[in-house]
Amino acid sequence: MKIGFVSMPLSGHLNPMTSLGRTLQSRGHEVVFIGLLDSGPAIRAAGLEFAPYCDNEYPSGSIAEIVGSIAKLQGMDALQHTSRDFSPGLAKAAYDHLPEKLAETGIDALVIDAMHFLQFVPISLGIPFVQVWTTLPIDPFGTTPLCYFSWPHDTTPDALARNVEGLKLIGELVSPTLAVIMEYAKKVGLQIDWHDPGSTSSKLAVISQVPKDFDFPGTPWPPQFHYAGPFHSSEGRENVSFPWESLSGGPLIYASLGTMINNQNHVYRVILEAVRRFPAVQLVLSVGNNVDFFDLEPIPTNAIVVRRAPQIEILKRATLCITHAGLNTTLESLANGVPMVAIPITYDQPGVAARIAYRGVGEFVELQDLSVEHLAYLINKVLVSPGYRERARYFQDLIAESRGLDVAADVIERALETSQGEVGLRSS
């Protein structure tokens, strides 16, 4: 079967999606990854066929420029900027060019990044499609807190009412992108009940890389929703050099704020000063391409600061991970039995951080409460309390047994083999 993949053009989405593509390719399927030019290096490094589109709207270097404009933002400011200045344009370009690219590549079915909201193209064309959540799945029912908030899980009437208000707030933020989607749906003649959260989801399969035991309980997902487990693989990624000879062999803390909202000098300085208080511990801090190292000085003698780090290999040696609570870093930490201290910045990170605390695999601190003293307290708490590592090791065993990539590939194969073109909505 010739399967097309479409992903958001960001590392946090591309890494798990290319891992899934590689798994399907290893099973004999022909996989074609449709993406922006800037996605090409990651896709080719994974050994997958790359079909670029939207070249005029997003020439080479566009995504780095866009990410750079967002990298210093936090909280709702980052989410609002993305929803207003990035997502609508990306959606319009994709809707303009994806139908032609599907015809050109001759794919039989699509696997779509659920955050890309491009399902209306295969729906209108009658092409079977599966959706994949590379981020925390969005609970559209209000039974749990929306992932953009760090609210604790609670089922009281007040908490449920709060959840619904959160849905309304995010709905207003994403309205520019929704307008693009609705315009396309009208253009191709789709009749859609926009008040029904499930009306535009895949009827074949919706897959999350979150382990079920890590998510909040109680969301009434439809039967075609599947918790698979992480889509992690150290193979098929771009090589990252690292000064391995500089590691002391003692307790190691790995810290990273991810690849997107990572121009956060204040947060890095707090991390460095907090870890300075633990001279027996060594820190590896990955800061990305938007930070000037001179702005972080003086750097403690027990710290190694790099632009990029081979994250999975570092986590195999780590005792603790200080993270922005990005889902991929969180799941990779759990896959290696590493507890966390989270500093969520934006997007679904507050929801991930809330689950880190809820499941007992670490602690988190809100940005407005971040200080050297408080972070040092949390680092010490997680390091000296064995319960955090025990819970992290529970998830390490669970993830190893779950085989997330194989589970997801099994679900996709079953769904597409039995679809017989039945994808739900049709154009009128």
For residues 54 and 300, give the distance between their C-alpha atoms in angstroms, rounded to a whole number. 45
Q: What angle do CA 390, 392, 396 make, to 5 degrees?
A: 110
Beta-bridged to residue 35, according to DSSP, are 52
Contact 262, 288 (CB under 8 A): yes
What residue type is assigned to position 392 of the chain?
A
Contacts of 254 (CB under 8 A, 6+ apart): 283, 284, 286, 309, 311, 314, 315, 318, 320, 321, 322, 338
Integer angstrom CA distances of residue 224 from 47, 124, 143, 219 = 30, 20, 18, 14
Element at 322 (helix H, strand E): strand 320-323
Beta-bridged to residue 51, according to DSSP, are 34
Q: What is the pLDDT of residue 237?
A: 65
Integer angstrom CA distances of residue 161 from 144, 155, 244 = 10, 10, 51
Q: Tally Cβ neighbours within 10 Å of residue 154.
A: 14
pLDDT tens figures, 181-212:
999 999 999 999 988 878 889 999 999 999 99
Contacts of 237 (CB under 8 A, 6+ apart): 15, 42, 45, 46
Q: What is the pLDDT of residue 64?
A: 87
Q: Tally Cβ neighbours within 10 Å of residue 414.
A: 12
DSSP one-letter code for 427: B
For residues 298 and 10, give the distance between their C-alpha atoms in angstroms, rounded to a whole number. 32
pLDDT tens figures, 351-389:
999 999 999 999 999 999 999 999 999 999 999 999 999
- The runs of H, that is alpha helices, within 336-368 are 349-358
**What domains lie within the chain, and their CATH numbers?**
2-234+403-419 (3.40.50.2000), 244-401 (3.40.50.2000)
For residues 82 and 174, give the distance between their C-alpha atoms in angstroms, rounded to a whole number. 9
What residue type is assigned to position 28 of the chain?
G
Please, what are the averages of pLDDT over each run of 10 residues along the chain (428 residues)? 95 94 96 97 95 96 87 83 89 96 96 95 95 95 94 96 95 92 94 86 96 96 96 74 94 90 85 96 92 90 94 96 96 97 95 98 96 98 97 97 95 87 40
Element at 97 (helix H, strand E): helix 87-105
Phi then psi dihedrals of residue 283, to 5 deg: -115, 135
DSSP one-letter code for 17: H
pTM for the structure as a whole: 0.93
E-only strand ranges, 114-243? 129-133, 206-208, 225-227
Q: What is the pLDDT of residue 68?
A: 81
Collapsed DSSP state (helix, strand, coil) of residue 387? helix
DSSP one-letter code for 370: -
Angle between helices 372-384 and 265-276 (to 10 degrees): 50
With CA atoms as reference, report the closest residue to 252 among 304, 178, 308. 304
